[in-house]
Structure 1
């Protein structure tokens, strides 16, 4: 039990690390909270400081989720512990203790969690996300569709109930965090990361 408590605490704190804010300021001299969508995530970083910044921040946020889920699996000793630690990492990213309980939308961190627990689901979700972003230019649309696919694919592959619960929680949470993006998509004012192919 103590091992799980330690893993849970580390997962939340790890998730809380604001990579976008730290890298943006340290390397590019830019506070992402003052530019674009004012979000510290990879999409705003890509638009504001360029491809290298976006990819770097995405990778670090992804690792926060993957490492947290791994800690849960191996310190907590069960798939449920892995799921709970993954959820705590997403919560930390979205409500960071280092940012007065504000943060990002949890997409990259959530993908990292899914990757550590359900690699096949992750490959499909990432492929769908990439295709949508490539052909439409809308990162938010790719993220929303990708999130919705997770519980569907979990059922399709017959994975354990813990993973289905994770998929449902992550999907609802990520879609909810994108509610303003959904409004802009519907009225045609959502920003594109690049021109559609």
Structure 2
């Protein structure tokens, strides 16, 4: 068994995932450096803090699709779903730790959702409703993301997903918890803001 396709997919997926669409869009719109706003994150949630819902939505779609594109391209290029999964996982890593930005990127939720959409519909069938239900119930984005991330690999396994895919999803879910560690601390303290609420100026991630 050759590992070259997996190495190529990992490198290609990482570079694709490293494209900081949130930063590019906000700079193009004349809003400055998104890393100097709110949490300093380059993801759609922080872009929304600029007041530009259109840019936040565009960031959400683009951040999601870069993982999906990595999955599709490398799955068909090497005729292997597993290679596509590795490419999507690498895109997730690229989004969270982009080489162009000193390895300081987003938290990976939108990118994870894009991977599930194109690589594991069984995972999406579980994670999507859980995220939506938790968000509508509590209006806390991080809580919805963490709950969905926790349940995705378990639900995918119960629905008959392959062991390889479940392993990849489990690893990514753990990384979601890592990138949300500051949010998790605030959740435990009861200080995590709800959607639409502003953080205190002194708070940093």
State whether TM-score is above 0.5: yes
Match of 1:38 in 2: 40
Structure 1: distance between partners of 2:116 and 2:23 = 24
Q: How far is 1:75 from its partner? A: 1.4
Counterpart of 2:59 (choices 57, 60, 73) is: 57
Counterpart of 1:47 (choices 46, 49, 72) is: 49
1:90-105 correspondence to structure 2 within 5 Å: 90-105=92-107
Match of 1:113 in 2: 115
Structure 1 residue ranges without an equivalent (≥5)? none
Match of 2:136 in 1: 134
1:12-31 correspondence to structure 2 within 5 Å: 12-31=14-33
1:47-196 correspondence to structure 2 within 5 Å: 47-194=49-196
Distance 1:194 1:130, change over 3 A: farther
Task: Tell me if the contact between 2:20 and 2:105 (Cα under 8 Å) persists in the aligned partners.
Answer: yes
Which protein is richer in helix relative to its size? Answer: 1
More displaced 10-residue stretch of structure 1: 14-23 or 3-12 = 3-12
Count of aligned positions: 195
Structure 1: distance between partners of 2:107 and 2:147 = 14
Structure 2 residue matching 1:17: 3-state secondary structure: coil
Q: How far is 1:3 from its partner? A: 5.7
Structure 1: distance between partners of 2:83 and 2:24 = 29
Q: Once superposed, what is the RMSD of the aligned Cα atoms?
A: 1.7
Q: How far is 1:7 from its partner? A: 3.7
Structure 2: distance between partners of 1:70 and 1:103 = 23
The alignment's TM-score, normalised by the length of structure 1, stands at: 0.91
Structure 2 residue ranges without an equivalent (≥5)? 198-205
Task: Tell me if the contact between 1:7 and 1:71 (Cα under 8 Å) persists in the aligned partners.
Answer: no
Q: Which runs of 4+ in 1 moved over 3 A?
A: 1-8
Q: Note the alpha carbon deviations across 1:155-177, whole angstroms, 9 max, x for none.
A: 11111111111111011110111
Q: How far is 1:6 from its partner? A: 4.2
